């Protein structure tokens, strides 16, 4: 029985990202803001592929696409062509997709390039522009529904497709690649990854040099890692039973969390690529690329380096913060209000991030603002609350969105600083725990035990420093007493 090392796994991705910042679709002037709208309301004769209609390219889409190619270190073609990808499907108004191709005389937007993750380079094969199809839904499941419901609002939306080389070796790397790509696109301001369906991908995986299996229908980045992990397990068990893995296309079922074989004639698909006669070639000049490069916003890697330098952050903190534009923005907003960036970053990459992961939400879905966090940090500095209390405070803020001062007042979280008050409670505890008191004279652990009791009795509201001082004071008094 052979054990497969991770070095023998090859994963490649085909990522489709909508250019969500465009106001219109790729080839027509319909509004691209279709989310939440009624079906079939953002359609016109052109994106519906009605007879006699013709496509005209959105100028800004090309500019955005060039920015992506620059950010991904890709080689931009100087003469770009659009090609037709011919296949029938109910979500395709023309039963061909206007896309790009890198064979048969095709010239896509850009070839080559890379993204760094964990000091590793994931190479890009090509980047291209294409149109999104419509959306299918069913009454019931895809298998049981007697008909299919089609909404063409999404048909014609501009997509950037990024195809990688099979350089990823683990599902985790695949997820990291996608996060990095998303961060780059968000930093460029051309795509908002938090919008539903704005980023989709297909994954290719092969084990131990075996045939490539394609997994389609992965709707989110989280699902990518899950899907790939499942597929590795599935393939390994087959290999152990001596079964060879053949080349095939599988469909990721999000609900059952398995990949299903698409053993349909889709595999005999022949896309018959040829140049789109209704669109002319697009010449991209070096000067134009330089101009776009000059005006490009700061990218994640750049930002990470700046965070380290400007805010003196540890590498790890800077790296985690810049994985998401929203997180990095939040951090910088905080630094405008509070002068301890490292402190801010610790809280963000710690408690904050855990909360987001646990709840599976995005940072902009929080009711928390930079003001909330900063006020909380000030209360800690002033000694109003302990660090431990702050953790509960944070949780409460995340849940309710109330400001720190309101919660502190409401839940009476102020650290108890009154020495007289503390002394009375300490007295009570020492009386209740005579054995511990005896032990405490010699054993440090017993003091901790008493501290614990004290903390419990005061619901952690006591300033530990003061509590410690008073207990030791009292104990040494008692000790003197015992001796004398």
Give the residues lining the site for another protein (CB under 8 A). Answer: 22-24, 29-31, 38-45, 48-62, 81, 84, 86, 88, 90, 93-96, 104-105, 136-138, 142-143, 145-152, 265, 268, 270, 272, 274-275, 277-283
Nearer to another protein by C-beta: 81 or 356?
A: 81
Least spacing, CB of residue 201 vs another protein, in Å: 22
Least spacing, CB of residue 71 vs another protein, in Å: 20
- Cβ within 8 Å of residue 309, ≥6 positions away: none
- Cβ within 8 Å of residue 401, ≥6 positions away: 366, 367, 368, 372
Can you read off the two tokens belonging to residue 105? 């005389």
Least spacing, CB of residue 21 vs another protein, in Å: 9
Half-sphere exposure of residue 118: CA atoms within 13 angstroms, side-chain side: 11
Nearer to another protein by C-beta: 38 or 196?
A: 38
Report the DSSP pairing between strands 248-253 and 213-218: parallel
Least spacing, CB of residue 17 vs another protein, in Å: 17
Least spacing, CB of residue 167 vs another protein, in Å: 28
Half-sphere exposure of residue 451: CA atoms within 13 angstroms, side-chain side: 16
Can you read off the two tokens belonging to residue 385? 């609350």
Least spacing, CB of residue 85 vs another protein, in Å: 10
Least spacing, CB of residue 12 vs another protein, in Å: 22
Least spacing, CB of residue 141 vs another protein, in Å: 9
Pure H helices in 295-403: 300-311, 315-321, 325-337, 341-347, 353-359, 370-382, 387-400
Nearest to 464 by CA among 477, 449, 452, 480: 452
Nearer to another protein by C-beta: 151 or 214?
A: 151
Report the DSSP pairing between strands 213-218 and 114-117: unpaired
Nearer to another protein by C-beta: 197 or 314?
A: 197
Per the listing, tokens 């087959």 go with 238
- Cβ within 8 Å of residue 469, ≥6 positions away: none
CA dist 62 and 101 (Å) reads 16
Task: For residue 110, list its beta bridge partners.
Answer: 76, 127
CA dist 482 and 226 (Å) reads 65
Least spacing, CB of residue 98 vs another protein, in Å: 11
Per the CB < 8 A criterion, the answer to whether 298 and 189 are in contact is no
Nearest to 373 by CA among 336, 418, 428, 409: 336
For residue 425, the SS3 value is helix
- Count other Cβ atoms within 10 Å, centred on residue 393: 23
Nearer to another protein by C-beta: 111 or 150?
A: 150
Nearer to another protein by C-beta: 90 or 452?
A: 90
- Count other Cβ atoms within 10 Å, centred on residue 12: 21
Per the listing, tokens 């909330």 go with 372
Per the CB < 8 A criterion, the answer to whether 25 and 156 are in contact is yes
Chain centre distance of CA 405 = 31
Can you read off the two tokens belonging to residue 153? 């609002």
Chain centre distance of CA 1 = 37
Least spacing, CB of residue 154 vs another protein, in Å: 13
Least spacing, CB of residue 397 vs another protein, in Å: 39
What separation in angstroms does the CA of 219 have from each of 15, 118, 415, 440? 11, 25, 47, 60
Least spacing, CB of residue 159 vs another protein, in Å: 15
Nearer to another protein by C-beta: 86 or 433?
A: 86
């Amino acid at each position: 029985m052979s054990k497969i090392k991770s070095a023998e796994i090859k994963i490649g991705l085909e990522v489709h990202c909508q250019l969500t910042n465009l106001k219109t679709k790729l080839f027509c002037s319909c509004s691209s803001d279709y989310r939440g709208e009624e079906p079939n309301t953002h359609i016109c004769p052109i994106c519906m592929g009605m007879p006699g209609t013709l496509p005209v390219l959105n100028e800004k889409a090309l500019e955005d696409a060039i920015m992506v190619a620059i950010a991904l270190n890709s080689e931009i073609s100087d003469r770009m062509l659009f090609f037709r990808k011919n296949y029938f499907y109910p979500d395709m108004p023309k039963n061909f997709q206007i896309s790009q191709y890198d064979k048969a005389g095709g010239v896509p937007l850009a070839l080559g390039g890379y993204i760094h993750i964990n000091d590793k380079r994931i190479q890009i094969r090509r980047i291209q522009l294409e149109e999104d199809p419509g959306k299918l839904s069913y009454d019931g499941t895809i298998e049981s529904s007697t008909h299919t419901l089609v909404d063409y609002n999404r048909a014609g939306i501009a997509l950037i497709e990024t195809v990688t080389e099979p350089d990823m070796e683990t599902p985790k790397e695949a997820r990291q690649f996608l996060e990095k790509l998303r961060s780059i696109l968000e930093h460029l301001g051309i795509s908002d990854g938090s919008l539903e369906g704005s980023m989709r991908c297909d994954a290719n995986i092969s084990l131990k040099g075996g045939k490539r299996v394609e997994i389609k229908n992965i709707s989110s980045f989280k699902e990518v890692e899950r899907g790939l992990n499942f597929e590795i397990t599935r393939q390994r068990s087959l290999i152990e039973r001596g079964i060879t893995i053949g080349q095939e296309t599988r469909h990721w079922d999000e609900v059952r969390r398995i990949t299903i074989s698409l053993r349909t004639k889709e595999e005999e698909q022949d896309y018959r690529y040829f140049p789109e006669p209704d669109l002319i070639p697009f010449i991209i000049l070096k000067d134009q690329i330089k101009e776009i490069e000059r005006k490009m916003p700061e990218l994640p890697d750049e930002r990470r380096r700046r965070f380290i330098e400007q805010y003196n952050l540890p590498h790890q903190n800077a790296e985690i913060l810049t994985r998401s534009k929203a997180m990095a923005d939040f951090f910088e907003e905080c630094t405008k209000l509070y002068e301890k960036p490292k402190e801010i970053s610790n809280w963000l990459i710690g408690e904050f991030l855990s909360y987001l992961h646990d709840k599976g939400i995005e940072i902009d879905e929080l009711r928390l603002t930079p003001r909330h966090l900063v006020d909380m940090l000030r209360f800690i500095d002033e000694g109003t609350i302990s660090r431990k209390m702050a953790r509960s405070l944070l949780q409460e803020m995340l849940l309710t969105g109330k400001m720190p001062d309101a919660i502190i007042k409401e839940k009476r979280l102020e650290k108890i600083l009154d020495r007289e008050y503390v002394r009375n409670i300490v007295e009570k505890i020492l009386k209740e725990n005579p054995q511990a008191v005896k032990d405490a004279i010699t054993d440090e652990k017993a003091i901790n035990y008493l501290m614990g009791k004290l903390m419990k009795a005061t619901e952690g509201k006591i300033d530990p420093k003061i509590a410690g001082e008073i207990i030791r004071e009292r104990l040494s008094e008692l000790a003197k007493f015992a001796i004398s």
